[in-house]
Amino acid sequence: MAEDPVDRLVKLGFSEYEAKAYVALLRKSPATGYELSKISGVPRSMIYEVLGKLTARGAAMTLRTSDGIRYAPVPAREFLQKLRREHEGLIASLEEDLTSLSTAAELYEYVWNLKGHDTIIAKAREMLAQARERVYLALLPETCEELRTDLADAVSRGVQVVLYSPQALDFPGVQAVCAPAQSAGLPRAEMLGLILVVDGEEALIAEDLGAPEARASWTISPLLVFIAEHHLRTDLYLPRILALLGERALEVIREEDRELFARALESHTPTAERTPSSL
């Protein structure tokens, strides 16, 4: 059901009486204060004060006639365009003023926690919408469709997008890399649903996206963002390096680290070398 025009005018800063009086004027004008009081439901004791406020904000006009003062509305399209210009100007000036007040340096020291699937996806979409140069994204296939339009929009703006997933994905304009979770070195890979780094400036890491307790961490800490991006950018090369090393991989990788590379090692080490003691 569509929201009542009065309710929407209230959201734009009108009082309830002002909204009711303006809507009544659009339905019948010119009209006296007495007539508007009956049409709008605004008490007679308040109607002239309300009409004075509408006139002051440019929503109504007074007409002097031989039998007294009547009121007419400024046409809705004209008035709404005026409101739009005023709000855009206000937002622009606020953005400038509030940005200058922000203590961005303090944000570097924090990792912010997000909860809930919808909240996390909304944050990912916001980050993708603001991307200017590059995006590195690792996600599970079930999360891909939710961000498909946002990734396409980023590509259309000329943003370089590199996408890592355990399965091959078809995203036009996106460099999609099939990177099995273990060979990509993702800790707790079965739980991580999304890692997103935008422009080397902010990072979002989420887990359990399909569960009610989905949670994520977001940061603009230069060090943490660098680590997350470095992690994603180097993942691409690990399977290729192991393939080149072949059976020498076990010689190069320290014994205590072999568990991290178990599946990748199985893929690139001869069968004879795959013994419990060697992994």
Cα 100 to Cα 70, 119, 120, distances in angstroms: 47, 27, 27
Considering only 8-12, 74-78, 172-176, which range has the smallest mean pLDDT?
Answer: 172-176
CA distance 86 to 262: 61
- The DSSP code for 258 is G
**pLDDT at residue 106 greater than cutoff 60:** no
**pLDDT at residue 272 greater than cutoff 70:** no
- The DSSP code for 31 is B
Query: Coil, strand or helix: which one is 7?
Result: helix
- The DSSP code for 261 is G
CA distance 159 to 253: 36
Domains 5-77 and 106-236 share a fold: no
CA distance 95 to 262: 50
- Write down the pLDDT at residue 100: 72
Which bin fits 216, alpha (ψ -120 to 50), beta or left (φ > 0)? Answer: beta
Q: Which of 206, 180, 196, 199 is nearest to 228 (CA)?
A: 196
Band (180; pLDDT cuts 50, 70, 90): low
Buried b (16+ CB within 10 A) or exposed e, 2-35: eeeebeebeeeebeebbbbbbbbbeeebbbbbeb
Q: H-type helices in 157-237, by residue range?
A: 222-235
What are the residue ranges spanned by the domains of the chain?
5-77, 106-236, 239-278
Domain 5-77 has CATH 3.50.30.30: no
Higher-confidence residue of 71 and 261: namely 71
Give the pLDDT confidence of 44-88 residue by residue, as tens digits.
999 999 999 999 888 889 888 777 888 888 888 998 998 898 888
- Give me the CATH topology for the region 106-236: Endonuclease; Chain A (3.30.870)
| Percent of residues, the chain, with pLDDT higher than 90 | 21
Structure tokens that stand for 269 in this block: 């080490």
CA distance 195 to 119: 15
pTM across the whole model: 0.55
